[in-house]
Chains A and B, each alone.
Chain A
C-alpha cells in the first residue's frame, strides 16, 4: 500500500498538503478529485518523490520514500505526470524502452524486450512504433506514455490527469484502458481526474481533496451525491440517476 502519514507540504506560507494521512493503492482504480489548487498534484509529487514533505512521511510497501533508493521505488511505483513535453526527438519505441530503465539500467535483456513488446502490443502501438512523438496526435502520445508506464511493470500506477487535452473519444479510450490495467493486469491505479463523471464511471473508490485535506473518501457511488460534491467544489452540482448510474450535472 501507499501510505501517507501526516504528510504536510508548504510553499512559503501556504500549506498545500495539510497533515494528510491516507492509504492509496488498494485493488482497482482510485480516483483523486478536487478543485484546482486542492493539492492533488502535490500529493502525487510527494509519493513520486518529486516533492519533499515538510512533515510526515510516505511509505510504499514498507519502504520509506525518503530513504529508499530511487531505482528500487521505480520498480514498484510508476508515475505519469500531466505535462509530458520531451525536447528530444524520440520514437514511440525509444520511449517505451525507457520504461525498463529501473530494471535494466539501460542494458536491455531478452526479458526487458519481451516487456517492451507486450506493452506496445497491449496499447496497439505497433503501427506507430517508429514514429516520432511529435508526429503523433494527443491521444496516441498519451497511449505511448502509458505503454512506457506499463513496460515499467510496477504494482502501482499513478496517473496525473491522464485526460488532459484529449477529446471525447480519446478520453473514453484512455479510461477504458485504465480500467483494463486494473482488471486484466492487476495494476493498482491511482489517477487524478477533473471530470467527476469519468471518476464515477471508471473508479472503484473516490478520494476528494480540498484545501490540502481529504474531505471525502468512499466508494464512487457514495461520493456522487450533490451535498458531497457541492462541499468539494464549492459549487452547486446536481446528481441524476441515468441508467442506474449517477451522473453529475454541473453545466450551470
Chain B
C-alpha cells in the first residue's frame, strides 16, 4: 500500500524532532546550557578556583627557610607562568581559528626553531662566554625583534600579497623551521662540549627565577596583545565558520587576520625570548579548552585555555620540584601527563 508522502514526511520529521534518549542527546542538552555544569561561566569559575588552589599550594607549602624569601621568588615564577600561559593559550587558540585547523600551533611557523637558531648562532660565533656575559635585555630584544621580523616577513610575503594563502604560508613555515632545526643541530655538533652545556640550558623552557625587568616587558607586550584581541572576540567567533562564510558576513578577513597574526607573533616571540621554547603545550592546552569550555565562543575558550595553561605549568612545576626534585624538564612532565590526558579525551569521545 502506498502511504501519502506528506504524512510520511511529517511523521519522519516528528520522530527525529523528539530528543533521542541516547547519551548523545544528553550531551547536547548539557552543551545547550540547561544544567548548571553546562554553563561556561560555571566551568570557568571552577577552573579558576583550581588554579588559585594550585597557586596557594605552590606558594605556601614545602617552604625550606624564610617564607618571605620563598614568596618573593615563587611569586615571580607564578607571574612568569601567567605570562607564558596567557601568551601560549591565546596565541594557539587564535592561530587555530585563523587557520581553521586544530592540530597546529604557532610553533609550525618556526618560532621555537628560530629561537634555538639565534641562541646557537650566538654561542657558535661568539662563544659561550659572550652568551653568558651578554646583557639579558639586549639578548631578549634581539630575540624578540628577529623572531617578529621573521614571522611578519613570512606572513606579508605569503598572505599580504596577491597569493593570500594561509596554507602556503604554513608550508613555507614548516620547511624553514626544518631548515633552521637542521642548521642549529649542525652548529651544535661543531660546538665545544662546554659551550654546548651552556647552550643546552637555553634549550628548555625554565620558569624559575625570571629576570624581573624582562618579565615586566614581556608582560607588557602580552597585555598589549590581549588588548588587540579583545575587540575582535566576536569577529573571531565568526571566523570559526571559515573564510568564505566570514567574508559573506562582512568580516574584512584580510585585515583581521593580519592584526591577529601580528598579535600572535609578538606574544609568542616575547615569551619565548623570556623563558625559552614554550609552544610545546599549546596544542594540549587549546584542545583541552575546546572540550572543557562548553562553548565555542572565544570569550570562553580563550580564558579557559589560559587557565588550563596555568594548571599545566603550575602542576608540572610542582611535580618537578616536589616529586622529581628538579631532576628533569618541565616540558617532559607536561607533555607526558598532558599528552596522556589528551589521548584519553580523544579516545573517549570516539572519532568525532
Residues of A at the B interface (CB closer than 8 Å) are 48-50, 69-75, 78-81, 84-91, 94-95, 98-99, 101-102, 105-107, 124, 127-128, 130-132, 134-135, 137, 152, 169
Contact with A along B313-352 (1 / 0, CB 8 A): 0000000000000000000000000000000000000001
Measured between C-beta atoms, what is the minimum distance from A159 to chain B in Å? 11
Interface residue? B244 (CB, 8 A) = yes
The chain B residue with its CB closest to the CB of A48 is B248
Complex partner residue of B32 from A84, A85, A91, A102, CB under 8 angstroms: A91
Residues of B within 8 A of A137 (CB): 16
Shortest distance from the beta carbon of B59 to any chain A beta carbon, whole Å: 36
Q: Contact: A87 with B101, CB < 8 Å?
A: yes
| Given A91-B31, A130-B28, A130-B32, A70 and B240 contact (CB-CB distance below 8 Å) | no
Q: Taking A81-B248, A102-B249 as given, write out 6 further A-B residue pairs in contact, using a Cβ cutoff of 8 Å, ordered by the A residue number.
A: A71-B252, A81-B244, A86-B241, A98-B238, A101-B234, A169-B9
- What are the 4 closest A-B residue pairs judged by CB atoms, nearest first? A106-B234, A74-B250, A71-B250, A127-B17
Determine the distance from Cα of A48 to Cα of B246 in the docked complex, in whole angstroms.
Answer: 11
A124 to B10, CA, bound (A): 12
Query: Which of B242, B243, B244, B296 has most chain A Cβ within 10 Å?
Result: B244
CA distance A152 to B250 in the complex (A): 11
Q: Which residue of B lies closest to A95 (CB)?
A: B241
Tell me the minimal C-beta distance from B19 to chain A in angstroms: 9
**Which chain B residues border A72 with CB–CB below 8 Å?**
250
Q: Which residue of B lies closest to A107 (CB)?
A: B234
Contact B237 A106 (CB under 8 A): yes
- Which residues of chain B have C-beta atoms less than 8 A from A95's C-beta? 241
The bracket for how many chain B residues form the interface is: 20 to 34
* Residue picked from A73, A95, A131, A169, most chain B C-beta under 10 Å: A131
- Using a CB–CB cutoff of 8 Å, the interface residues on chain B facing chain A are 9, 13, 16-17, 24, 28-29, 31-32, 100-102, 233-235, 237-238, 240-245, 247-252, 290, 296, 352
Would B251 and A70 count as touching, CB distance under 8 A? yes
By a CB distance below 8 angstroms, the chain A residues around B238 are: 98, 101, 106
- Residues of B within 8 Å of A70, CB to CB, are 247, 250-252
Q: Give the Cβ gap from B219 to chain A, nearest Cβ, in Å.
A: 28
Instruction: For B301, give the chain A residue with the smallest CB separation.
Output: A88
Tell me, in angstroms, the Cα distance from A81 to B16 when the chains sit together. Answer: 26
Are A87 and B100 CB-contacts (below 8 A) given A74-B249, A135-B24? Answer: yes
Would you call A48 and B247 a contact (CB within 8 A)?
A: yes
Q: Across the interface, name the chain B residue whose C-beta is closest to A49.
A: B247
Q: How far is the CB of A76 from chain B (nearest CB, A)?
A: 10
B190 to chain A, nearest CB (A): 44
Within the complex, the shortest CB–CB distance from B182 to chain A, in Å, comes to: 32
Interchain CB contact under 8 A, B31 and A132: yes
- Separation in Å of the B34 CB from the closest CB of chain A? 9
List the B residue with the shortest CB-CB distance to A101. B249
A137 to B16 Cα, complex, angstroms = 10
Contact status B234-A105, CB under 8 Å: yes
Say yes or no: B9 contacts A128, CB within 8 Å: no
Which residues from A are CB-within-8-Å of B290? Answer: 88
Contacts of A101 in B (CB 8 A): 234, 238, 249-251
**Cα distance A230–B24 in the bound complex, in angstroms:** 49
Sample (30) of A-B pairs whose CB atoms are under 8 Å apart = A48-B244, A48-B247, A50-B243, A50-B247, A70-B250, A70-B251, A71-B252, A73-B250, A75-B250, A79-B244, A80-B248, A84-B241, A85-B242, A86-B242, A87-B240, A88-B290, A88-B296, A89-B31, A89-B296, A95-B241, A99-B249, A102-B249, A106-B235, A106-B237, A127-B17, A128-B17, A130-B29, A134-B352, A135-B24, A169-B9
- Interfacial chain A residues near B233, Cβ < 8 Å: 106
CA distance A236 to B352 in the complex (A): 44
Q: Please, how many angstroms separate the alpha-carbon atoms of A95 and B297 in the complex?
A: 12
Complex interface: chain A residues within 8 A of B243 (CB)? 50
Q: Which of B9, B244, B252 contacts A69 (CB under 8 A)?
A: B252
- The answer to whether A88 and B248 touch (CB under 8 A), given A105-B234, A128-B17, A130-B28, is no
Which residues on the B side are within 8 Å of A128 (C-beta)?
17
Residues of A with C-beta under 8 A to B245:
81, 84, 98
Kindly report which residue of chain B lies nearest to residue A77, judged by CB atoms: B248
B251 CB contacts on chain A under 8 angstroms: 70-71, 101
Determine the chain B residues whose CB is within 8 A of the CB of A124 once the complex forms.
13
CB contacts (< 8 Å) of B244 on chain A: these are: 48, 50, 79, 81
Which residues from B are CB-within-8-Å of A99?
249
Which B residues are in CB contact (< 8 Å) with A86? 240-242
- Interchain CA distance A138-B208 in the complex, whole Å: 53
